[in-house]
Amino acid sequence: MKIENIDEPVRILNSNVDVKSVIREIAQDVNQEEAFYVCHLDEIVQKHRIWESRMPRVEPHYAVKCNDNITVLEVLAALGTSFDCASKVEIAKVLSVGVSTDRIIFANPAKPASHVRYAASVGVATMTFDNESELYKIQNLYPNARLVIRIRCDAVDAQCPLGMKFGCDPVKDAPYLLDIAKSLNLNVVGVSFHVGSGCREATVFHRAISFCKDLFNYADNLGYCFTLLDIGGGYPGVRGSSIDEIANVVNDALDIFFPDPSIQIIAEPGRFYVTSAYTLTCNIHSIRNVGNREDGSRKMHKMYYINDGVYGSFNCILYDHQVVKPQPLRDYVGTKKYSSSIWGPTCDGLDQVIEDVVLPEMNIGDWIVFEDMGAYTLPVASPFNGFPIPKVHYIASESVWNMLKDVVTMSEDSFKMMDGSMSKKLESANNRYNYSDIPATIELPHYNQKVVAGDHLLNYINISLIE
Ligand SMILES: Cc1ncc(COP(=O)(O)O)c(C=O)c1O
């Protein structure tokens, strides 16, 4: 498991403060040199609202692999999502934030035995399979598990196809596997698929759901009574993207093939929830000019070296096929523009973030912002060559905090009231806290003159508005 980057509380901002202002505030600190993230928790809350409004029948099981940060898991758990875990460590992490076992699907069709044993020991019963050996393993280690057969149905175009590795053929293999499961007396409860991460063909969901219906019928004839349909991941999450097209296809297909409301429909969205919540800001520490500056006969190309690269957050370029977009933090009005490339900090020539982009002339110490960096970045990043993984600054609006405060299990230290100015402090007297820009008094619980610290503390904080 990755070591968490949370070493400071979630900052609660007044509604006028946007991510860019927070980034500017952090970047202008003279001591700030490392790359850093700002994660706006409101984005995650907003995504959940969108999900609920577009696919009300489909229960999201957040795919932990996408971003396993504990604050993200806390917020999603508080919102009521369930979880898709790929390993025992992910299961343990989700359980640690107070999620009950029936809100977890172990959605890895090829599981190491020790992970199945762990799932059995904690009672995470729902798990996927797509091959015969897995059935024998589960019969041996967790015979009462609730099994979900994963079929293959690939989108014609996806950012990261998965079908070459997972999912049995729904026509040629799935009936055979169900026969075996039945002969082993295993409890198969439904069907799942994943059309590919970053799906670019909405209609694939219709095809896949139709295959699932055929397998529900087949299972019926075998004497099973399937109750679960898992429509996997594939939903976009970058700013400006929409799940509407996919949602329309899914909702129509559910109406056609699964009109029975007693069938539980779940999905495993990952990038949808977190991509847009995270913005990365990197510092330029070196610049190389290539080309002839004197006579202008050759175009000058500028190579900017920044303090995060493909071994860190930008691993998403290699593994997740992401195209990242640099935005200089400062305004460069009237500054000459150059063909430029951006490079990571390590000594590997592979460590290139952007090959060719036109950018205004920037200087050492300037900052470059990258939006949409919340998915498949931090959980995969390594500190290769000794360059640290960027720290994350968490922010949330007051309204979101007010909504979450009674349900998250984070401790008192996890939150701090702020406005745009990150340096302002709460004024406190005894255990009552007043914040000048926010008309509220926060009262922390205390015992024998000491503020009570520890888990679940937010459950006991009183906030009263000052008239
Ligand atoms: C089994 C499973 N579920 C869900 C996801 C998340 O899907 P997405 O990246 O499209 O959000 C993945 C991603 O690889 C996956 O393998």
What are the structural domains, with CATH classification, of the chain?
Answer: 41-274 (3.20.20.10), 281-386 (2.40.37.10)
From atom 14 of ligand 1, which residue's Cα is the shortest distance away? 197
Q: Is 172 exposed, middle or buried (0-12, 13-18, 19+ CB in 10 A)?
A: exposed
At a CB cut-off of 8 Å and minimum separation 6, what does 188 contact?
147, 148, 149, 178, 181, 182, 219, 224, 226
Whose CA is closest to 320, among 371, 380, 263? 380
Residue 317, phi then psi, degrees to nearest 5: -70, -40
**Is the distance from the beta carbon of residue 269 to the nearest atom of ligand 1 less than 6 Å?**
yes
**Is the distance from the beta carbon of residue 63 to the nearest atom of ligand 1 less than 6 Å?**
yes
Quick one: pLDDT at residue 154? 96
**Is the distance from the beta carbon of residue 111 to the nearest atom of ligand 1 less than 6 Å?**
no
Whole-number Å distance between alpha carbons of 91 and 93: 5
Which residues partner with 197 through β-bridges?
Answer: 160
Whose CA is closest to 198, among 316, 89, 314? 316
Q: What is the DSSP letter of 222?
A: H
Which of the listed residues 84, 111, 193, 199 should we mutate to test ligand 1's pocket, taking the one with most ligand atoms within 8 A of CB? 84
Q: Tokens for 52, please give them.
A: 């609920």
Quick one: pLDDT at residue 108? 98
Q: Please pick, among 153, 212, 225, 347, the residue that the annotation labels catalytic.
A: 347
Rg (CA), the chain: 25
388, 34 in Cβ contact below 8 A?
yes
Whose CA is closest to 353, among 336, 331, 372, 370? 370
* The ligand 1 atom nearest the CA atom of 108: 1
Asked about 282 being catalytic, the answer comes back as no
Quick one: pLDDT at residue 451? 37
For residues 209, 215, 216, 217, the Cα torsion angle rounded to the nearest 10 degrees is: 120
**Is the distance from the beta carbon of residue 236 to the nearest atom of ligand 1 less than 6 Å?**
no
Buried b (16+ CB within 10 A) or exposed e, 46-75: ebbebbeebbeebbbbbbbbbbbbbbbbbb
3-state secondary structure of 435: strand
291 torsion bin: left (phi>0), alpha (psi -120 to 50), beta (else): left
Quick one: pLDDT at residue 438? 39
At which residue do the structure tokens 């000019």 appear?
Answer: 289
Give me the residues of the chain with pLDDT under 70, please: 1-8, 15, 292-298, 406-467
From atom 12 of ligand 1, which residue's Cα is the shortest distance away? 233
**Is the distance from the beta carbon of residue 162 to the nearest atom of ligand 1 less than 6 Å?**
yes
Whole-number Å distance between alpha carbons of 307 and 164: 35
Whole-number Å distance, alpha carbon 405 to ligand 1 midpoint, is 29
From atom 1 of ligand 1, which residue's Cα is the shortest distance away? 107
Quick one: pLDDT at residue 292? 62
Quick one: pLDDT at residue 338? 94
Write out the H or E segment, with its range, that includes residue 402: helix 398-404
Q: What is the DSSP letter of 87?
A: S
Each residue's pLDDT tens digit, 277-325: 999 999 999 999 998 655 555 678 999 999 999 999 999 999 999 999 9
Whole-number Å distance, alpha carbon 87 to ligand 1 midpoint, is 13
Whole-number Å distance between alpha carbons of 391 and 383: 12
How far lies 77's CA from each of 95, 345, 409, in Å? 10, 36, 10
**Is the distance from the beta carbon of residue 274 to the nearest atom of ligand 1 less than 6 Å?**
no
Helices 204-222 and 174-183 cross at an angle (nearest 10°) of 30
- Position 24: which residue type? R
Each residue's pLDDT tens digit, 71-92: 999 999 999 999 999 999 999 9
Q: Tokens for 337, please give them.
A: 């523009």
Q: Tokens for 188, please give them.
A: 């198969």
